[in-house]
Chain A
């Protein structure tokens, strides 16, 4: 496979060439080098497979995947593709099953993805069937290696991937364990179909600079202002990050002085309970956005908790899958609080509806500017952690890790 022939700009990750979002060949290469390469991809919450003998579908980039919990309670994941003619094995999103049977020709698999039976293998009445030396499992569904942390299930296809915790780095491990403090209760899910390349959404997630400028609801109600105490933590590899801020506002006037639309005076909520926050972690942090390369996001916005993952359906078609959760030990008031604060997130979210559209705004403009470069120099040119969020360091971290995976 002749993979990448493009040259990255000499300035390094302080520049991003726009062809990365519009090159169809690159999209195919990413599937092999990023998603099927030595990366850890978030598949689902353990809580989405609460019982033995159950399955749910997920994805590794564009590759469909089945995640199962077998009769022993073990988690498995394998490609959602029959060894025979390549049909999807599971056509439903989730279900209970002791084995997985391909609908096309009834070939059966155990919940670890091993082929266990071939319908009419010996034919019928001595006629038909497969030759005695046939190897029906010559091209089996590829099996993923699985690791879990704090109830999050990650998978990789590449045996060369480092152990999950090494891949994450110690700060990210700590950030995950902080949020995932107890057994999870799933509250619901939905998806957004974005008309943009997957990398544009991930850059948006890692871009702590935009948060209080694009999301004026956020700023107006002092949920997140760049003057609030917080910071940015970037894993040594650059691929993973945490952006956080404390819930208390330090009351800076920078926004008002700059006359930004975000700081309209006298803007108040009639029903401010949508923002009422209980410090359930006891550390004062009101916002923690954590990402893991390539496409995982763990979000704590006050008491609203969610995991997000991407399915890269096509070059400019990306499904953003949200699963919103609380904990099994939440009381009714906490569940109500989480449901009310869910107004902040998702496709109709007061502070996140813009994130569905912004990547599309870039995509529409840069498709005709493939050889132009984006300047990414907020906060310098490096990828170090910082105690300010007026920086694009985590975006540069993303590109650092991406380039290493892609070999340019």
Chain B
């Protein structure tokens, strides 16, 4: 397995990346809608943010640094994302909980194949039905985004790199 994400983006000034304000806005809008769907518990809408042959991988910074391909969640199609939602809704047993994502401003540049690359820091609070609220995970999205065409805007690849290798109890709702 090889990932096209994960490498560092350039540290050039915005004017040198060839990304215009409309592109920046479109990426920010997609990200904002994405975390809104998760935080609103509209999980059925979540796969629709991805292309049909997408890759969605939740891994840790430690695995990535060691070149280890393992994911906590590893999906190579939108169908696999739909299966996960169905399992969360109908099969898996976990206590009622919600997330609140907060994302940083994305760093955006043009990638291969007409795609946009964006790296975005995030923090996710987890709110249990008991009222307990904790800082659940932090990390970064490393995204390849399709912005043009009838299928756009969608994530072609979303690599979710968790800063910590330790998860409290379980990770049910996607990040």
> In the bound complex, what is the Cα–Cα distance between A264 and B59 (angstroms)?
31
A65 to B46, CA, bound (A): 43
Give chain B nearest CB distance to A106 CB in angstroms: 28
When distances are taken between beta carbons in the complex, the residues of chain A under 8 Å from B79 are 270-271
A271 to B79, CA, bound (A): 6
* B22 in contact (CB, < 8 A): no
State which of A187, A214, A340 has its C-beta within 8 Å of the C-beta of B68: A187
Confirm or deny: A188 has a beta carbon within 8 angstroms of a beta carbon on chain B.
Answer: yes
| Bound Cα distance from A341 to B80, whole angstroms | 12
Instruction: Answer yes or no: A82 CB below 8 A from chain B CBs.
Output: no
A214, A264, A342, A353: the one within 8 Å of B90 (CB): A264
B contacts, CB < 8 Å to A: 1, 58-60, 62-63, 66, 68-77, 79-80, 82-84, 86-87, 90-95, 165-172
| Chain B residues with CB under 8 A of A120 | none
Which residues of chain B come closer than 8 Å to A267, judged between CB atoms?
A: 86, 90-91
Report Cα–Cα, A192/B167, bound state, in Å.
5
Q: Which residue of A lies closest to B93 (CB)?
A: A354
CA of A188 to CA of B62, assembled, Å? 9
Interface range, A side? 35 or more
Q: A267-294 CB contact bits vs B (8 Å, 1 = yes)? A: 1011100100000000000000000000
A353 and B80: CB pair below 8 A? no
Q: How many Å from the CB of A270 to the closest CB on chain B?
A: 4
Closest-CB distance, A358 to chain B (whole angstroms)? 8
Query: Taking A350-B92, A353-B92, A354-B93 as contacts, is the C-beta distance between A189 and B83 under 8 angstroms?
Result: no
Contact of A216 among B62, B69, B91 (CB under 8 A): B91
Q: Decide if A190 touches B91 in the complex (CB within 8 Å).
A: no
CA distance A216 to B74 in the complex (A): 20
With both chains docked as a complex, state the minimum distance between the C-beta of B55 and any C-beta of chain A, in angstroms: 11
Are B59 and A195 interface neighbours, CB within 8 A? no
User: Are A270 and B83 touching (Cβ within 8 A)?
Assistant: yes
What residues of chain A lie closer than 8 Å to B63, measured between beta carbons? 188-190
Given A193-B169, A357-B170, A339–B70 Cβ distance below 8 Å?
A: yes
The chain B residue sitting closest to A267, CB to CB, is: B90
Most chain B CB within a 10 A radius of its CB, from A188, A214, A264, A339: A188
Q: Which B residues touch A335, using CB under 8 A?
A: 1, 69
Identify which of A190, A270, A340 contacts B167 (C-beta below 8 A): A190
The answer to whether B70 and A347 touch across the interface, beta carbons within 8 angstroms, is no
Residues of A within 8 A of B73 (CB): 343, 348
- Given contacts A194-B169, A339-B74, A347-B171, is CB(A354)–CB(B69) below 8 Å? no
